Amino acid sequence: MIDLGTLGGRFGATAVAVNGAGQVVGTSSTPDDQSHAFSWTPAGGLIDLGTLGGLYASAAGVSSSGQAFGSSSTASGESHVFSWTPAGGMVDLGTLGGMNSFAFTLSDAGQVVGQSDTPSGFQQGFLWTPSGGMVSLATQPNTSSEAVAINSHGLIVGSRGVARSTSPDDETVAMLWEMSPPVIIVEIDIKPGSPENTINLTSHGVLPVAILSNASFDATHVDPVTVILAGAPVRIGGNGRPMSEVRDVNGDGRPDLVVNVETDAMILAASDVTVTLKGRTDAGLNIEGSDAVRVTP
């Protein structure tokens, strides 16, 4: 048993969630009898995540990447959902126009789902994403709803009322929302190491294509089975696995993914000067990238 400590308050601390790296989040009292969210790691110990300007904040969960979420009071006394990362600190995710919002869960892609007040006085389920902010999941006007869980493929579950003024506490129906997975724009390099990206459509061979990693994207998490270049898949080897390898193509110290695409299956015209690669990561996120080419007869 390891004592994680407190933030110095007399009322102690409570842990609520832990991720695979052993990062723990929860709530602790402070010396001035406030309640603050905390994060604890084996290396860094217990740190105060602060509040959104109010007297309390409580953590509700933490993702595998170390992003925490929860609820915090604001300076005006409202309760808002927050997201916290080591790099960006605590961020107010806002509401759907009403006073308060509450979060239920967080995906590894940084998507938060929960429930928020609206200007008309209803409580509606929401989805918050880093790129799109908070959007309502309401499917009928003047009814309440809630979103309680989201998976890596963007499927959201919850419930909604079946009539005007109906809340999830009264007669409800179970709901499944399906969102289009976000598209991550990636950099690709056709025929890495070659100054000209010449494609001979009658070569009966394969075309090597590198999907490059960067500071915020790890190409080794791309599933080669899902990769398509100009309509052509990655060739399957004799062992039944897609022909791919991990290596640092551009010398930046980050491992890249190189796949070998079936040249005969590519849908290209002699006039095409660019091709587009599409695929998905292990977490179900879509990727897309393009590169210049020269198609030979």
Domain 13-178, CATH homologous superfamily name and number: Peptidase/esterase 'gauge' domain (2.130.10.150)
DSSP 110-154: S-EEEEEE-TTS-EEEEEEETTTEEEE--SSTT--EEEEEE-TTS
With bands split at pLDDT 50, 70 and 90, how would you rate the model's confidence at 196?
Answer: confident
Q: What is the pLDDT of residues 102-147, one digit of tens each?
A: 999 998 888 999 999 999 888 999 999 887 899 999 877 778 899 9
Residue with tokens 């129906």: 173
Q: What is the pLDDT of residues 238-266, one digit of tens each?
A: 889 999 999 999 999 999 999 999 999 99
Give pLDDT, residue 59: 96
- Residue 22 pLDDT > 80: yes
Give pLDDT, residue 1: 92
How is the beta sheet containing 101-106 ordered, strand by strand?
101-106, 112-117, 123-129, 133-136
With bands split at pLDDT 50, 70 and 90, how would you rate the model's confidence at 179?
Answer: confident
Considering the four listed CATH numbers 3.30.70, 3.40.50, 2.60.40, 2.60.120, the one that applies to the domain covering 183-296 is 2.60.40
Average pLDDT over residues 193-221: 91
- Residue 194 pLDDT > 90: no
SS3 285: coil
Burial per residue of 61-95, b for 16 or more beta-carbon CB atoms within 10 angstroms, e otherwise: bbbeebbbbbbbbbeeebbbbbbbeeeeebeebeb
pTM of the model: 0.61
With bands split at pLDDT 50, 70 and 90, how would you rate the model's confidence at 182?
Answer: low
- Residue 165 pLDDT > 60: no
- Residue 164 pLDDT > 60: no
**Domain layout of the chain by residue ranges:** 13-178, 183-296
Contacts 24+ apart (CB under 8 A), 166-169: 167/122, 167/123, 168/144
How is the beta sheet containing 256-262 ordered, strand by strand?
188-190, 206-211, 256-262, 244-247
Q: What is the pLDDT of residues 60-108, one digit of tens each?
A: 999 988 999 999 999 999 999 999 999 899 999 999 999 999 999 998 8
The CA distance from 133 to 56, in Å, is 23
Comparing 66-80, 153-167, 177-191, 282-296, which segment has the lowest mean pLDDT? 153-167
Tell me whether domains 13-178 and 183-296 share a fold.
Answer: no
End-to-end CA distance of the chain: 70
The CA distance from 60 to 66, in Å, is 13
